[in-house]
Structure 1
């Protein structure tokens, strides 16, 4: 934990950003300032299967349903969020395998591979009206209008789900050029899915500004925003990375033993959270620096 002196200077110039990690023990809330990792604690106690966040909302998937909470970042300084959750799955959402927040609402996949869409309600305590979009094999991840499933990458349309190809997809990003991490390799969507690298990949993330990261058996691959070239690097820690995300100028990764790794472009910092069984990581909002 930080000292009081460290808390006074933490985030003074670069601001503070919330990062949330879903684990078998709960959801860890971590404050970071650029690549400095600050205070952390449990925002939700109990096994969490998925997590998604925006600047003002946190959504947690569990084996029993879906929870949501409002996050107030104003004047929070370096304190970790202490949200109050409400169950919003209603009678529709049971076990959750993946969740994504969009400007319009939520996209949810349950344990049977059924995918639902719900518009944001007026209050976080009010369950949205859920629309069934379709069903697939096991859903692993949802991001920016794309869905990663055991039987391929699906595009989420107004009318439902459209399979775009590939198999055994572990992760996907639809920010910028779509990318997919599969058991057979890393792919980009151009004129169909085109191979970037061979081997099994577990996670992929992009920031919408040309940068991207992917992790797999080959190591950590990083795409340059300048020329689009991919470089293979060594992961920041030895434990396997299970999820990646990028937003607010930060790339965050989490390992299966609950180690959070963060970079803002000047090298990785990492912190063991003491929460094994990590499954996902999400970047929320925060406060701007002076």
Structure 2
């Protein structure tokens, strides 16, 4: 059986044996899945047509926040299904549940049914784990919503050591929020499989024009293989970076880059089921 004969769902099942990893890309025209095998960026196709604003993945499902609603693919044959949430700005998968933020700032949890957690002032720009990045700063999601400091936060990562990408700096959580790099940071992502409490491990962050890589507490600028702006970062077998013009870049363990244009404009998110 050739790679072209394997469906997306079969690829997820056989990924561990075939070495094929699926990367989901959210963009203005919808959500595309891209097959990656080792250093090779393979075929791709549009799985969901929508105005996608964010995408997240857990061990068994993929969730999409879109202008049309929140869609979840549980890895079976049904594909993406509308959960009835309504327009959403951000989504994450945490402890098996989907968390989503609505246009009006309401944050809710989905485990087959939606249950509201609370509402924030302003827009929720990103969700990761139990953290939300909002106009008003970082918010922790528990039984309700708890303000956790900073302001004008564009992105958060919760694995190992929480980090926040804000308009004035990249911050890590220590004795309060401590700035680690100055600049207008738009993205931050840490690999939960390489993190542990007190140690962030593999992680990347980006300003409007520079990508940074974490290495033992330091953040070092990286040069992308294409002249474009980093739009989203995700971690799988490799590090994946999508640019604003729809190019998917793959960084291998030995530091080499591979890249391929997907023709997707307005990229808003990346996710890799693990």
TM-score (norm 2): 0.86
The correspondence for 2:263, drawn from 267, 270, 274, is: 274
Aligned residue for 1:8? none
Aligned residue for 2:198? none
Assess if the C-alpha contact under 8 Å between 2:181 and 2:219 holds in 1.
no
Cα distance in structure 2, aligned partners of 1:185 and 1:235? 21
Assess if the C-alpha contact under 8 Å between 1:204 and 1:245 holds in 2.
no
Assess if the C-alpha contact under 8 Å between 1:251 and 1:263 holds in 2.
yes
Q: Is residue 2:55 matched to residue 1:56?
A: no
The correspondence for 2:203, drawn from 212, 215, 227, is: 212
Cα distance in structure 2, aligned partners of 1:265 and 1:62? 33
Unaligned 5+ segments in structure 2 are 5-14, 195-200
Q: Is residue 2:221 matched to residue 1:221?
A: no
The runs of 4+ residues in structure 1 deviating greater than 3 Å are: 11-14
Assess if the C-alpha contact under 8 Å between 1:52 and 1:100 holds in 2.
yes
Deviation at 1:134, TM superposition (A): 2.6
Judging changes above 3 Å, is the alpha-carbon distance between structure 1 residues 192 and 218 closer, same or farther for their aligned structure 2 residues?
farther
Aligned residue for 1:46? 50
Aligned residue for 1:288? none
Matches within 5 A, 1:6-155: 15-72=19-76, 84-89=79-84, 93-119=85-111, 121=112, 128-155=113-140
Assess if the C-alpha contact under 8 Å between 2:210 and 2:230 holds in 1.
no
Q: Judge which range, 170-179 or 132-141, deviates more.
A: 132-141
Assess if the C-alpha contact under 8 Å between 1:199 and 1:218 holds in 2.
no
Number of residue pairs matched by the alignment: 255
SS of the aligned residue for 1:167 comes to: coil
Assess if the C-alpha contact under 8 Å between 2:209 and 2:230 holds in 1.
no
Cα distance in structure 2, aligned partners of 1:46 and 1:137? 24
Computed over aligned residues only, the root mean square deviation of the Cα atoms, in angstroms, reads: 2.2
Assess if the C-alpha contact under 8 Å between 2:50 and 2:67 holds in 1.
no
Deviations 1:92-128 (CA, angstroms, capped at 9, x unpaired): x221100011223111101111111122x3xxxxxx1
SS of the aligned residue for 1:165 comes to: coil
Cα distance in structure 2, aligned partners of 1:218 and 1:277? 16
Q: Judge which range, 11-20 or 24-33, deviates more.
A: 11-20
Cα distance in structure 2, aligned partners of 1:283 and 1:255? 16
Deviation at 1:217, TM superposition (A): 4.5
Deviation at 1:12, TM superposition (A): 9.4
Cα distance in structure 1, aligned partners of 2:134 and 2:180? 19
Deviation at 1:14, TM superposition (A): 6.9
